[in-house]
A and B are shown apart, each in its own frame.
Chain A
Amino acid sequence: MTTVRTNAAAVMLGVSPNTLRSWERRFGFPTPRRTAGGHRQFDVRELEALRQAFEQTHNVSSAVRLARERGPGPASSRRLRSSLVRFDEEEADRVMEESLTVRSVERTIEEVLLPGVELVAAPEGETPTPEHCFAWRWASAWLAAGRRVAPPPSRDDGVLICDASRAPDVEALHAQALELVLRRAGVQALYLAVDFDPGRLTGALGTIAPRVVVLAGRRASLDALGRLVYAARRAGTGMGVFDFRGALPESGAATVPRLGPSALAARDEITAHLDGRAANRAALSRSARR
């Protein structure tokens, strides 16, 4: 942590040292540490957060609130939340761009985008707020833009993600994030809503020929999911069917394995499954040649 003394901190903020000390008394922010000799040491990241907030607010009180809300340091989910609740699309894009300078796309999604939207989202079962709907649409558009610039598939194996959630469910964003990270890993991933005609699923499975089917979203009935799993298993022997983030209710007797809760963990498990199958296929073809 880089720290500066009172005079330098005051220069950074363009105020007098007395003003800085009066903010500390009135707002408790910025909060300095004390050296052994009792001198104030201000965190530069806190000062920078406050300086940026001055440009976006109307008085010191609201700037302090904004700086506290965002937290110090680089792009974070709290900073993203702060821009989303103010319907500030430009600022939200800037937070993502800042994050992309220090994190990969996958980590930005997992550490900034999804937690940021979750902080804005209304609790499950409650009516979504306008901020929630705005955040959902913005995040969905960002993930779609990421998919458009994803590299072409480098593997033959396909993955079908059947999502039973609806806008503006946060679960839908997790499913879209999984599709994006799979595509970025070179996997042919396809995202479909579950509420299509079940009779057409067999046709879709035949066309796409996925090696893995992932069930996502929590809105599908057990009956619909049962038909889906049956159709997937009937379409191809050894086709893996997985549950992502609790699409199937926890019954203790489910035959569908659960993937990790994050898109990255799920991607790793799916690619491990695909690699295992590819190794098995190679071993089978080698033994057939012999």
Chain B
Amino acid sequence: MTRALHAVRVDARGRPVEAFCGHCGRPPEESETQPATRVCRRCGLGLVLQAPKGVAPQAGEPFLVVDARLTVCAVSRKAEDLLGVPETRAVNRHIAEFLLPAAAEASRPEDLLAQLVTAATSDEDADTVIVRPVGEFGVRYRARIGPCGPPRAALVVLGE
């Protein structure tokens, strides 16, 4: 039996990272040749991003990418369906136009925003918060927030 060594990509803190497409969320296609750009070869609409294992979206999980200025930089195909907004209209708008903390008495909107800024600017571990779409009540998502990039940004993965 032969054993092969595989390079494991790690972030600045030594945590293993996973690559995924910023639009379809799937891992990049393995290619023998070095890609000229980061464009996803599967969907052609996202760029390949990296996030620590455990934060990176798993198959079919909806997610958004938000930069340190709190503007939306990417919306996955699933998140487009979930939030009812196409990516082309969501990009470059403030995240507070789409998501708010679900329990208003427990968490103020600025706490969510502060968490996003922290994730976009530091290497802290992922955090989980309950959020809801703006203008809708009774719909809640468990949002996993952590760093991603390049360039540095916050990843918001929405789950049940």
B76: nearest chain-A partner, CB-CB? A59
**CA of A11 to CA of B92, assembled, Å:** 28
Instruction: Given A51-B37, A54-B38, verify A60-B91 contact (CB < 8 Å).
Output: no
Contact between B37 and A59, CB atoms less than 8 A apart: no
Tell me which residues from 96 to 127 in chain B have a Cβ below 8 Å from any Cβ of chain A.
Answer: none
Contact between B69 and A87, CB atoms less than 8 A apart: yes
**CA of A239 to CA of B34, assembled, Å:** 68
Q: How many B residues, CB 8 Å from partner?
A: 26
A54: nearest chain-B partner, CB-CB? B37
The reply to whether the CB of B1 lies closer than 8 angstroms to some CB of chain A is no
Residues of B within 8 A of A58 (CB): 22, 46-47, 49, 65, 67, 73-74, 151, 153
Residues of B within 8 A of A65 (CB): 91-92
Q: What string of 1s and 0s marks CB contacts (under 8 Å) between A66-98 and chain B?
A: 000000000000000000001100000000000
Residues of B within 8 A of A18 (CB): 44
**CA of A268 to CA of B23, assembled, Å:** 54
Taking the closest CB of chain A, its distance from the CB of B87, in whole angstroms, is 5
* Secondary structure of the B contact surface, majority rule: loop
**CA of A159 to CA of B9, assembled, Å:** 61
**CA of A87 to CA of B120, assembled, Å:** 15
Contact between A59 and B88, CB atoms less than 8 A apart: no
Tell me which residues from 48 to 105 in chain B have a Cβ below 8 Å from any Cβ of chain A.
Answer: 49, 65, 67, 69, 73-75, 87-88, 91-92
Q: Which of B35, B46, B75 is close to A14, meaning CB atoms less than 8 Å apart?
A: B35
Contact between B73 and A22, CB atoms less than 8 A apart: no
The reply to whether the CB of A164 lies closer than 8 angstroms to some CB of chain B is no
A69: nearest chain-B partner, CB-CB? B92
Contact between A59 and B44, CB atoms less than 8 A apart: no
Size class of the contact patch on chain A: 20 to 34
Contact between B88 and A27, CB atoms less than 8 A apart: yes
B23: nearest chain-A partner, CB-CB? A59
Contact between A62 and B74, CB atoms less than 8 A apart: yes
The reply to whether the CB of A264 lies closer than 8 angstroms to some CB of chain B is no
Contact between A61 and B45, CB atoms less than 8 A apart: yes
13 further A-B contacts with Cβ under 8 Å, apart from A54-B38, A57-B73, A61-B23, are: A12-B36, A15-B39, A54-B37, A58-B47, A58-B73, A58-B74, A59-B73, A59-B74, A59-B87, A60-B47, A61-B87, A61-B88, A62-B91
Give the interface of B toward A (CB within 8 A): 22-23, 35-39, 41, 44-47, 49, 65, 67, 69, 73-75, 87-88, 91-92, 150-151, 153
25 contacts between A and B (CB under 8 A): A13-B37, A14-B36, A14-B39, A15-B37, A22-B44, A22-B45, A54-B39, A58-B22, A58-B47, A58-B65, A58-B67, A58-B73, A58-B74, A58-B151, A59-B22, A59-B73, A59-B75, A60-B45, A60-B47, A61-B45, A61-B87, A61-B88, A62-B74, A62-B91, A62-B92
Give the interface of A toward B (CB within 8 A): 11-16, 18-19, 22-23, 26-27, 51, 54-63, 65, 86-87
